A and B are shown apart, each in its own frame.
Chain A
Amino acid sequence: MAFNNRYDFVLLFDVKDGNPNGDPDAGNLPRVDAETGRGLVTDVSLKRKIRNFVGLVKGEQPPYEIYIKEKAVLNNQNKRAYIGINKAELLEGDNKKRKGGDAVDEARQWMCQNFYDVRTFGAVMSTGINCGQVRGPVQMTFARSVDPVVPQEHAITRMAVATEAEAEKQLGDNRTMGRKFTVPYGLYVAHGFVSSFLAKQTGFDENDLGLLWQSLIQMFDHDRSAARGEMATRGLYVFKHDSELGNAPAYRLFERIRPGLKDGAVVPRSFEDYQVNVNEDNMPSGVTLEIKA
């Protein structure tokens, strides 16, 4: 079912003794805004987790296939049946396919139907014509931590070496040193937007929206690794507009969700040190706040 509402959402998540998003420019240190000391998590990092979650729970089957995969998910090389439509003749002779015509539209629609990430975030498809793009309804921003974070470096040792040569060099001592980086604690805020106009273009429907909320709530539970530490969604505040265009500016709504340190807390080390003030007074008419997590 298509929906006729605009949605703006605030996602709160935290990390404890982990690296939520490494910076390849800084030797994989957690991303930090150098001017404010606040931690950053890129939009693409969060979208990656949504893709992985959906791939996991839906078993990579249409209509919930994931186009942009990580190796771990890709390794099932089984061929599966698609709900194909017969357009073989358009592939023959190179004039027709370059011009595209209705086959391009059809292929684009077909990709949207089968692939959750294509119809959610959009994708670029190569065609001879210029507008081979799908713009997805879901738009996400960089997440920032509420307070400055202090990335810490930890030296770690491994009681083995990788090669014979190294073992010989160490006379059998066989030890290597490594480094890992963590943030002791950080509470991050990301903003997101869902446009029903674009949703209609890609066929992103109410079920897909439900899956998006579910993935935002649960994605960190299925993304455990040595680097991440403990990450969890701490809040998902969804502003639902009665209309497609929306009933209030997004920034006026986001201002209503204010996470801050509790009185007396100086150095945040857990979610307990924070208090999330949610202002539901005088909500603009036509906007409802749904607290999903």
Chain B
Amino acid sequence: MKTYCLEVSGDFACFTRPEMKVERVSYDVMTPSSARAVFESILWKPAIRWYIEKIEVLKPIRWITVRRNEVGAVISMRNALEAMNKGTGCLGLNIEDERQQRAGLFLRDVVYRIHAYFELLPDAGQNNSIGKFLDMFERRAEKGQCINQPYLGCREFVCDFRLVNMDTKQIDREKLSTFEKMDLGFENQRDLGWMLYDMDYCDTADPKPKFFRAKLENGVLHVPSWNSEEVRG
């Protein structure tokens, strides 16, 4: 299986911990699910599925806190249907009445190298060859083409991406301080605790989260395979 490496970088990132999503707090590093979304924003078809192998953390883990005014309501489908049906009605949402101030603890100044591959799904159909998709992905990633600009956890935190040539993938981490190296799990592996792997969409009406024990080892987050025992729901 051909593995691709994308280098993504951005000013901010928020890979929200599901247990702290009212006031968002990011995981220390990118989650496999948001890494998958980056690849999917470049190429995705119903016939393929992306798998993340590992995520290399190229920069020290740094934080920023931002508090924003947000809206705490969602559009009511019932009201929309009613207005649609009657031909009159007052829709619209008053932000002063639905105001929520939420702080977020985001990552800043991040660079990752994500390694991923895709597989054809069994029901891909006759005219979907793997070669076709490989070519498509390479062509798009090299030119910077995408369906929508990929982002790091939240849509406002867009990222640059570039396809990394696998032959020239040495990363210089000499400039990191001792503390930063410790943070990234150099010498001693760093345990990041349980981290969201991805959502299990087998039952589309009720997707279930899957978690794995994330560890940073020499700046690399190794992602176990989706079906392994390490991944728990």
Instruction: Mark the stretch among A139-147, A166-174, A219-227 that contacts chain B.
Output: A139-147
Contact between chains at B68 and A124 (CB < 8 Å): no
A87 within 8 A of B: yes
Size category of the B interface is: 35 or more
Residues of B within 8 A of A110 (CB): 80, 84
Residues of A within 8 A of B157 (CB): 141
**3 A-B pairs closest in CB distance:** A249-B144, A245-B145, A25-B67
In angstroms, how far is the closest chain A Cβ from the Cβ of B112? 15
In angstroms, how far is the closest chain A Cβ from the Cβ of B188? 27
Contact between chains at A246 and B143 (CB < 8 Å): yes
In angstroms, how far is the closest chain B Cβ from the Cβ of A160? 25
A103 within 8 A of B: yes
Interface hits, A5-39 → B, CB 8 Å: 6, 8, 23-25, 31, 33-35
A154 within 8 A of B: no
B128 within 8 A of A: no
Residues of A within 8 A of B76 (CB): 125-126
Contact between chains at A24 and B69 (CB < 8 Å): yes
- Sample of 25 A–B contacts (CB below 8 Å): A24-B69, A25-B66, A25-B67, A31-B66, A35-B108, A42-B68, A65-B92, A68-B71, A69-B94, A70-B95, A71-B95, A79-B88, A82-B83, A85-B85, A97-B81, A107-B77, A125-B74, A129-B205, A130-B205, A139-B156, A139-B158, A140-B156, A245-B147, A246-B145, A247-B143
Contact between chains at B143 and A42 (CB < 8 Å): no
Q: Which of A80, A81, A125, A135 contacts B77 (CB 8 A)?
A: A125
A95 within 8 A of B: no
A18 to B154, CA, bound (A): 29
- Residue with the highest number of chain A CB atoms closer than 10 Å, among B74, B84, B94: B84
Contact between chains at A67 and B91 (CB < 8 Å): yes
Interface hits, A153-172 → B, CB 8 Å: none
Identity of the chain B residue whose Cβ is nearest the Cβ of A91 in the assembled complex = B81
B146 within 8 A of A: yes
A: which residues have CB within 8 A of B? Answer: 6, 8, 23-25, 31, 33-35, 40, 42-44, 65-71, 74, 77, 79-88, 90-91, 97, 103-104, 106-107, 110-111, 114-115, 118, 123-127, 129-130, 132, 135, 137, 139-142, 144, 191, 193, 195, 197-198, 243, 245-252
B18 within 8 A of A: no
Identity of the chain A residue whose Cβ is nearest the Cβ of B136 in the assembled complex = A245
Residues of B within 8 A of A43 (CB): 156
In angstroms, how far is the closest chain B Cβ from the Cβ of A263? 28
In angstroms, how far is the closest chain B Cβ from the Cβ of A149? 16
B103 within 8 A of A: yes
Residues of B within 8 A of A25 (CB): 65-67, 103
Q: Which of A24, A44, A81, A195 contacts B147 (CB 8 A)?
A: A195
Identity of the chain B residue whose Cβ is nearest the Cβ of A136 in the assembled complex = B155
Contact between chains at B91 and A125 (CB < 8 Å): no
Interface hits, B2-48 → A, CB 8 Å: 11-12
Q: Which of A24, A66, A127 contacts B101 (CB 8 A)?
A: A24
Q: Which of A8, A69, A107 contacts B81 (CB 8 A)?
A: A107
Residues of B within 8 A of A247 (CB): 143, 145
Binary interface encoding of chain B residues 211-228 relative to chain A, with 1 for a CB under 8 A from any of its CBs, else 0: 000000000000000000
Residues of B within 8 A of A125 (CB): 74-77, 80
Identity of the chain A residue whose Cβ is nearest the Cβ of B41 in the assembled complex = A195
A65 to B85, CA, bound (A): 17
Contact between chains at B64 and A71 (CB < 8 Å): no
Contact between chains at A84 and B83 (CB < 8 Å): yes
- Residue with the highest number of chain B CB atoms closer than 10 Å, among A88, A90, A245: A245
Residues of B within 8 A of A80 (CB): 88
Asked if A127 meets B96 with Cβ closer than 8 Å, knowing A42-B66, A84-B87, the reply is no
B207 within 8 A of A: yes
Q: Which of A70, A90, A124 contacts B74 (CB 8 A)?
A: A124
B82 within 8 A of A: yes
Residues of B within 8 A of A118 (CB): 75
A166 to B218, CA, bound (A): 64
Contact between chains at A127 and B77 (CB < 8 Å): yes
Contact between chains at A251 and B160 (CB < 8 Å): yes
B177 within 8 A of A: no
Residues of A within 8 A of B65 (CB): 25
- Residue with the highest number of chain A CB atoms closer than 10 Å, among B75, B78, B89: B75
In angstroms, how far is the closest chain A Cβ from the Cβ of B178? 20
Q: Which of A44, A97, A248 contacts B143 (CB 8 A)?
A: A248
A40 to B140, CA, bound (A): 32
